Copies of this chain bind each other. A is one copy, B any other.
């Protein structure tokens, strides 16, 4: 990577905002980081995070290089997975990256682009079979490195992913200083944050909520 680390974040309709913003607020702290927010078109995109609008400042064709690519997830990934223009752009950008990353169901988009064939990867707990159907080997871990491909589990996992990536890129001391800057000393009120830890009634309710919304 050069003096400027170009971090390209894909934005799209019906994405989950936290999937992108978690990594963004970590990776922005890398020395010489430059963030680019890229969407199918320039302009506001409606996330599924309470309807929050986030703005793409570049269109796909405006950006042909990245050191780090971040593909978030969310309901909108289903449409992306069938969008040849987006998949072509991801494949082209991937040929230039040092790290190609995803959060949550963003890995399904990387998979649809053919980038995870035979690779270990992760996704939101509810979509592990979808990931396997795309040729990847799903691993029930929070963050999975396979060569330059780095995939995170659901939504909030992007923070852990980005911190681990900062460690690889800039070393442990800088990465830890970033962890302190964002005061990432998590204290979830319950032990219910993974499929393996959550009680059965919690899994049932979360599954029903995902299906309805």
Contact = CB atoms under 8 A, between A and B. Distances in A.
Task: Give the secondary structure class of A's interface.
Answer: mixed
User: How many residues of A sit at the interface, in one of the four size bands?
Assistant: 35 or more
A183 interface: yes
A52 B156 CA distance: 18
B49 A24 contact: yes
A209 B182 CA distance: 12
A176 interface: yes
Interface string A27-59: 111000111010000001000011111110100
Contact of A190 (B44, B175, B206): B175
A162 to B, nearest CB: 10
B37 A52 contact: yes
Nearest to A25: B18
A50 B35 contact: yes
Contact of A160 (B9, B27, B187, B195): B187
Interface in A155-170: 155-157, 159-160, 163-164, 167
Contacts of A57: 51, 53
A201 to B, nearest CB: 7
